Amino acid sequence: MSCCHTELELAQGDTAFNVDASTITYGDGCLSEAGDIAAHLGIKRIALMTDPVLATSEHVAKVEDSLKAAGVDVARYDDVRVEPTDESFQAATKFAIDARVDGFISVGGGSVIDTTKAANLYSTHPAEFLTYVNAPIGDGTPVPGPLKPHIACPTTSGTGSECTGIAVFDLLAMKAKTGIASKMIRPTRALIDPSVTLTLPPNVVAASAFDVLSHALESYTARHYHVRPAPSSPSLRPSSQGANPWSDLGCKEALKLMGKYLVRAVDSAEDVEARHQVMWAATLAGIAFGNAGCHVPHGMSYSVAGMAKNFNPDGYPLGEPIVPHGMSVIVNSPAVFRKTAVGDPTRHLEGARWLGADTSDASDADAGDLLADQIVKLMRASNMPNGLLGVGYEASDIPDLVNGSLPQRRLLDNAPIDIQREELTELYESALTYW
């Protein structure tokens, strides 16, 4: 394990880390196991949650058929909002309460899985909406106990939400994203069928794959768990516990797979090997960041997505402006890793090498540029937007972007260097454009 921290820091830091993960079933065609799993979890009536685009898809049909064949009564909710909001979380919660279900199954991307976590939480432990939302925006009150069983079936190769205890949404009144973080909301089971990726539009493959790439890089370069102050009691050790030997394993493999398959997977839905390998990378990175935590690119993304002005990329619902999550993250990543490399050059160089850069003659001083340049190369090859200007922002928006991301301390404090207002301003300036 590489570590550049002082003995004083180590003496004050934590001495142990947790390994938490959902129980995962992974493989081609496994969506048809949904009914058997639900029945064995004792579910009699299940809420099947999805979004309007997927509602008529073969993936949802396969899951519903399997549930019905196993004798499970199905209550369908097809109205999950892509990039959910506090309002859409509450609409899904109302459905869950009215439907009187004893379990949940989500079939969709991160938007659907996160909405299902929220509907499960608020219908099982009713409370004012901000009660469980992360402080300082919400009250950050701990979830009082277990939820109903939730089987998560991801249909994008991206968020890893099926393995995490996080639900992200846009708080409309603040025009910023925030989330709920609790191990209690982690899905009970994940059913990951890589064949779902064959119907994904190229832009969704690209955006969600760059989300994966950044999950892995952020978790690998996060401050080491030894450096985070020890919790007052072991049960309070956070999921954002910092880089650790367990999360390192998933990050390393995910980054190698991204270096090899990301561009291929975006280029062709016929490239089954590439699409499947990107799904496997998403799974590994999801397990990793669920046990380490992301840092600054995700912290900055929350205001980039929340303040969306006029951007409406192909592959996403038309109508309201939307900066899809993966794009809102990756427009920040090159600027961030160029700057954070000084905190742990070895890990930044390793990341660059696994993504395909030639690091043979590189010194520590080259680490930030090499990693940033390699990410930019992959972004250009996948038609990603060119920085913040590419998703509709201007330099004059930077003070608002900074204000929106400054409260994200859970993420910012997980970085390998200190991040305050001044650093965030500089990072948004560097992220305006890359080529």
Ligand X SMILES: NC(=O)c1ccc[n+]([C@@H]2O[C@H](COP(=O)([O-])OP(=O)(O)OC[C@H]3O[C@@H](n4cnc5c(N)ncnc54)[C@H](O)[C@@H]3O)[C@@H](O)[C@H]2O)c1
- 51 binds, options ligand X, Fe ion, none, Cβ within 5 to 8 A by partner type: ligand X
Residue 82 interface partner, choices ligand X, Fe ion, none, CB cut-off 5-8 Å depending on type: ligand X
Where is 151: in which H helix or E strand? strand 150-154
CB 329 to ligand X: min, Å:
8
Q: Which of 220, 316, 354, 393 binds ligand X (CB under 6 A)?
A: 316
The 3-state secondary structure of 329-393, one letter per residue: HHCCHHHHHHHHHHHCHHHHHHHHHHCCCCCCCCCHHHHHHHHHHHHHHHHHHCCCCCHHHHCCC
CB of residue 292 vs Fe ion: minimum separation in angstroms?
A: 13
Taking CB under 5 A as the rule, does residue 162 contact Fe ion? no
Closer to Fe ion by Cβ: residue 63 or 279: 279
Query: Collapsing DSSP states into helix, strand and coil, what is residue 105?
Result: strand
Question: Between residues 238 and 356, which has the closer beta carbon with respect to ligand X?
Answer: 238
Q: Are 284 and 254 in contact (CB under 8 A)?
A: yes
Q: How far apart are CA 190 and CA 204, in angstroms?
A: 21
Q: Residue 210 Cβ, how far from Fe ion at the closest point, in Å?
A: 9
Determine the longest span between alpha carbons in the chain, in angstroms.
Answer: 63
Smallest gap from Cβ 328 to Fe ion, in A, equals 9
Taking each helix axis as running N to C, give the angle between helix 202-221 and helix 272-292, from 0 to 180 degrees, rounded to the nearest 10: 40
Q: Is 17 or 289 the residue whose CB approaches Fe ion more closely?
A: 289
**Token representation of residue 357:** 């850069």
Q: Between residue 183 and residue 242, which ones bind Fe ion under the rule CB under 5 A?
A: 211
Beta carbon of residue 247, minimum distance to Fe ion (angstroms, whole number): 15
Whole-angstrom distance, CA of residue 407 vs CA of residue 136: 7
- The reply to whether 199 sits near ligand X by the rule CB under 6 A is yes
Q: Which is nearer to Fe ion, 289 or 311 (CB)?
A: 289
Check binding of 204 to ligand X (CB under 6 A).
yes
Binding mask of the shown chain, residues 131 to 170, with x at each position contacting ligand X by CB under 6 A: ------------------------xx-xxxx--x-xxx--
| CA–CA dist 124, 99 (Å, integer) | 13
Q: Which of 200, 300, 352, 402 binds ligand X (CB under 6 A)?
A: 200
Q: Distance between CA atoms of 327 and 313, rounded to whole angstroms?
A: 10
Query: What's the burial of 79, exposed, middle or buried (CB within 10 Å: 0-12/13-18/19+)?
Result: middle
Interface residues toward Fe ion, by CB under 5 A = 211
Interface residues toward ligand X, by CB under 6 A = 51, 53-54, 82-84, 108-112, 114, 155-156, 158-161, 164, 166-168, 196, 199-200, 204, 208, 211, 316-317, 325-326
